Structure 1
Amino acid sequence: MENKNSEIIRRFNEKYGTELYCYLNYSKPYELLFSTILSAQCTDERVNQVTEKLYKKYDSLEAFAKADVNEVARDIYSLGFYQNKSKNIVKCAKVLLEKYNGNLPVTLEELVELPGVGRKTANVIRGNLYNDPSIVVDTHVKRISKRLGFTVQTDPVKVEFDLMKVLPKNQWILWNLHLITFGRTICFAKKPLCKECFLNDLCNSKDKVV
């Protein structure tokens, strides 16, 4: 199993490289936080389209803290769950200003206490802003990690801890990046392109298309 996992990791690195990057556009730390909150049940591409205007309209953390929640909701309407997301962003801005002097906290424990922030969002921040090895479990990571035999779990937190046991730390952030690309181009939730897959010989998933 260990040799198989190592070979899968090697092929991912060979196919997609080992450079770290982020699918969400941002220029300030809090923008990455808000974009990640907005990305729940939505594509990164769509979030980037909306935030391009959003971050110009509200050009500071203070502007978000003072913003009318209903107006923010209208601004992000197309992203879905806009009412909860708008409330969380405005509340989050206030907490960051009042408790952290406008900075983002560093630890997982502090991050998940922010409005609208769970482990997934916190790990995005830790990995991208602080280069702190972390595993982000989104829909692609959960689905594909199970298909490839890295976990049998479906709960995101349990998947995260399983992956922490089997992945080298230097692959934690890359795993999410690789699986997002892989999930968007080959390993679809429905009708995966198994015959074109560079991991075909290593995959024993029940979802495999022969």
Structure 2
Amino acid sequence: MQGKRPSILGISGSERAGGNTDLALDHAGLLARERGAEFDAIHLRDHRISPCSPCGDCNSRLTPCELRDGMPDIVERMKRADGILYAVPVHGFGLAHLMQIFIERAGVGFLRFDRPLANKVGGIIVTGRRYSDSSVHNQLVDNLLLNRMILVGSGFPALLRNTSPEPGLNDAEGLDALERMVHRMLDMVQLLKSQEALTGEPVLPPTDRNERVSRQGARPLANRAP
């Protein structure tokens, strides 16, 4: 790969160190590094991330969230990466609460102003025992699309199931989907970088990012999704 190495940032929403989600994200990181890419991981459990507060001005404010916690640093790391890989377990038939709090704060408090993740390559890993992994995956797909990211198809989604009480990558089909997804993420990052190096311009123009301000002036748009 020519030029600066592609960089992928993995974000884990699991509370359990060394569990299925961590194993899956570690495997993704190994694959990325074998391809010559940079891979860094953030475990949300290691950071202080406050839930959205009752301030109630998220639909009108034009500046980032002012709560003092680990969110600004994480968002800056996301901005610097070429690709974002979410990894999360299913809890209570839904998205694990750490990731839910994170995507709410990130979207409403920071990303919605100018969509800085636009045109970055996105990927999703969901781990679970048996149920609701597709629902969780679909929610995160919606989040990536909301942020104008590029979701690279890889056949089946990377849903890894494990019915054993011991953590492990025991789902051969899910593991195959994970591996193909990581490789296709890196292929897309490389394609975008190569095209920009040739033309001096991004393949996808970074326009129409700010839905919080109308084209007529700095007036917040009403009734828009976070």
TM-score normalized by structure 1?
A: 0.30
> Which is richer in strand?
2
With CA pairs under 8 Å and 6+ residues apart, which has the higher RCO, 1 or 2?
2
Give the TM-score taking structure 2 as reference length.
0.28
Which structure shows the bigger proportion of residues in helix conformation? 1
